[in-house]
Structure 1
Amino acid sequence: MNTPSTSATQARISGVHPRPASRGDAFRRVAVTALAAALLAGAATPAMATADSRAVSKAAAAQDRPELQKAIQAFVDAGLAAGVQMRVNDEQGEWVGSAGVRRLGTSAKPPTNGYFRIGSSTKNFTATLMLKLVEAGEIGLDATVADYLPQFKLDRRITVRMLLQHTTGLFDYSFDIDPDGKPVSLIPWQGKEWVPKRFHTYTDEQLVRLTLTRPAKFEPGTRWSYGNVNYVLTKLLIEKVTGHSYAVEMKRRILGPLKLQHTVVPGAWTGMPAPYAHAYYRYQDAADQWKVIDVTRQNPSWISGAGEIISTTEDLRTFFSALNSGKLLPAGLLTQMRKPHPNSAGLFGSYGLGLYVQDLGPNCGGVVYNHDGSNNGYGALMYSTPDGKKTLTASITTGDAPADVATEFPKALNNLVKTVFCDGQAQ
């Protein structure tokens, strides 16, 4: 875990990779609320029996999907997760399930309505919020950031679009590669160094100023390099333009209108709303002994507008479906959000403005949009077809088992995504 190669792998999974990314996590267990409601309605209203029977049949069919259960169980079996939960909405209806355990040492499964830290999936919320300001005419997508945040003396060529697209050239405070090819973190966000600092509060200005202690990696707009600092700056820009906090504007423009009552912008709050599955972190201490601690409580201020949000699979589904079906942004801005940068191509697609564009091929439904992410102990998956009708949202909580993350995680994720989007058949 402390070797450079392993650190780089963890950084990519955590959404702090400086290069084209990898991602996050999964699901299991059958929820029968919809089925029970349909049965009760059918019994109480004989005149609606035919319609209710169809509803019951659809709900039952959606729940009877062993291929989905198998796909999320694979994360647990590979040692990648202590617990997973997933929600799939498609032409068969809604399937919710979980695998593994809610807490180490117990047998209870993770709650399928549980809260979790969504990590870099936050970037899609932040990008959408910024584009809402563009839609309202409060700022331009190609506006000069330095005009709004003069205190940082940023390169005047850096624009709002570049922040959202990761083309600013700024060195990233959380994880980057120096000119000699050495991984560099300017704050302790992983390993034994992070453990005593996991409740520490960082300010957004502090994070930006840490970044600016290092020279830019390239001239703005000339290349692509994923960096959390771009979304910390986006958060600061939102606050400057609106005169309100990021949390207030997120609630006013996105969470409130969509009735996302189970999505939290925590700031420096270390808690977790109930219900939830516990998350664990495995690290080597000073004596090179492996230790495991419960990290359900942690301070996400280090990741700020790039990864702080807490949510549920249901709220993520509602949000990402609304975004992709055109309910949050006008067609022109949604098109720009989905336009990938030509230099950002990687295993999981190419990057637009706060989301990835991934082509699964003609035999697997074509293009899907996504933005996964993770914080220590937690991960999230968020996928949708272009029309928002077919979605996959999921959470993973890590445990105490060692795992070959670099090999097994991409394999399990690829299998899961293709099981959902390739008509139940992993490719």
Structure 2
Amino acid sequence: MIQLKNKKALTLLRIAALIVTLTSIYIFAPWQFALYYFYPLPANVQAQTQEAIEQGIDGIIVYIHKQGQQPEYFANGWHNRKHKIPAYPNALFKIGSIRKLYDAAALTKLAAIGRIDIDKTLADYLPSLIGRIENADKITLRMMVKHKSGIPNYTDTDNFDWSITYPDPTR
């Protein structure tokens, strides 16, 4: 009798756990994002930029350069929504910290093929920075990619102006 009760209790616990698990998955899982992978891809890059705008991005620029071909630019949305300036291929955007990932990946690839040495200094690669950036002769590329160079964020300075726009060369 005692074993029979334990088996029933174990079965009831398993059923309860299954119900709780399935309910949690149904209620808390981000289904809209999971199902997104089943949607067809946009037909071309311009359609993808439009889709990004529809998902809430203010502006987007895509640069594609295939070996042996002229570069292609795709722009959509706003460069400056407030002033109604549309995005254009050479517009500057605040992209925040995501650029750091690309910089680190590019640096790693160049170091892996022996094109650069991450333990050389900024002055070794860019001698014109001597006197313009303090300690350029001591700051290594490794320090830069680890964000331990001591160079302040120039976009936080009072005289940095994000509102500067550059002419659109395609117009």
Structure with more relative contact order (C-alpha pairs < 8 Å, separation 6 or more): 1
Question: Which structure features the higher share of helix residues?
Answer: 2
Over alpha carbons, which structure has the higher Rg?
2
Question: Which structure features the higher share of strand residues?
Answer: 1
The TM tier, using the shorter chain, reads 0.3 to 0.5
TM-score if structure 1 supplies the norm length? 0.19
TM-score if structure 2 supplies the norm length? 0.42
